[in-house]
Amino acid sequence: MTLIQVNTNSTLNGHKLLAITPWPFPHDFLGHLHTRFPGLSVALYKAPFGEGNWNDIPEEDKKDVTILVTGTCFPTLEQAPKLQFVQVLSAGADFVLDAPAFKNSNIPFCTANGVHGGILGYGSIGRQVARICKAIGMDVHAYTLHPRKTPESRRDETYTPPGLGDPEGIFPSKWFSGSSKKELHDFLDSGLDLLVLSAPLTKSTVGLISHQEFNILGKKKAFVSNISRGQMINTDAFVEALEGEVIRGAAIDVTEPEPLPDGHKLWTTKNLIITPHVSGATTAYAKRFLAILEDNLERFSQGRKLTNEVSRKDGY
């Protein structure tokens, strides 16, 4: 017989967690939470991603909430005066930035990074792309907003499932960084055959790739893949680059606008593959998200720095 010991943590006594999820909350994990954090009260509410409304949630479920798990349903500070920590279901932070509780407080909001050629945006998703690229013999160039000149700065502080990603930042042979056009163009002009966009959407990354950038990528007829947000690419410039064969082709999981309406020119643009924003929807997503949640509950209970916390300064 094998005995499995689960360490209990009573420091969340008196806290209440409300989970608003598009999928049924796993009963086995709920039982695990009750065992792991015996003093934590948990309320569950199921709502499609992007459609939840705080006013629709039963009063008994949302009353006195201190910890919130949600996709896009955010309360105001007046609606949740005891709120202390928010764990978001998505890897992207753009849904968070306009939430009143995010803008008007210092409450930590954390994303689900790590659940899901040249890599523009070397976070947890970009690092997993790098692992795959390296495995098939590609030379990887990475681009980040802030310089990563030391081994310590190249480490990934976000959640990384064991055996995935690039926790130590060892895969890129070249690192590029900066927020200026010149610095971006130096990266794009580094001989890329493939460009993968995996950076967060912020005010500074809207329309980041446009006519000039496609012309630079056209020097080697690069292939472009966007798994970030559609707004990062100027759609008109994108269509021109594909139709004019400036770039070799593209595969995108996100579009601008999204969802893409019937009759939009992207549907008939040549050398383009479009998927319906499903690259993060793996069968293991819920399991990995719950691992991040448990890790952050442990950190929160101990007053430690949370994993994947959204920066109010950088917007991701």
Confidence of residue 7 (pLDDT cuts 50, 70, 90): low
State the Cα–Cα distance between residues 228 and 172, nearest whole angstrom: 20
Please write the tens of the pLDDT for every residue from 82-117. 999 999 998 778 888 889 999 999 999 999 875 536
pLDDT grade for 15, boundaries at 50, 70 and 90 = very high
Question: Among residues 244, 234, 242, which one has the least CA distance to residue 270?
Answer: 242
DSSP state of 180: S
- % of the chain at pLDDT higher than 90: 67
CA dihedral 116, 121, 127, 128 (to 10 degrees): 40
Q: How confident is the model at residue 36 (pLDDT cuts 50, 70, 90)?
A: very high
Burial of 3 (0-12, 13-18, 19+ CB in 10 A): exposed
Residue 61 phi, psi (nearest 5): -80, -40
| Structural contact between residues 56 and 78, judged by C-beta atoms closer than 8 angstroms | no
pTM: 0.66
Indicate the burial class of 269 (C-beta count within 10 angstroms; 0-12, 13-18, 19 or more): middle
d(CA 204, CA 180): 10
pLDDT band at 302 (very low <50, low <70, confident <90, very high): very high
Question: Which residue segments constitute the domains of the chain, with CATH numbers given?
Answer: 16-113+283-302 (3.40.50.720), 118-274 (3.40.50.720)
In sign, the C-alpha dihedral spanning 70, 74, 80, 86 is positive
CB of 214 closer than 8 Å to CB of 246: yes
Average pLDDT, the chain: 90
pLDDT per residue over 171-203, tens digit each? 999 999 999 999 999 999 999 999 999 988 888
Angle in degrees, CA 79, 95, 128, rounded to 5: 135
Per-residue pLDDT at 234 exceeds 90? yes
Would you state the structure tokens that stand for residue 247, as one six-digit string?
């770039």
Nearest to 255 by CA among 281, 273, 282: 273
pLDDT value for 14: 93
Chain segment 117-128, per-residue pLDDT in tens: 668 888 888 999
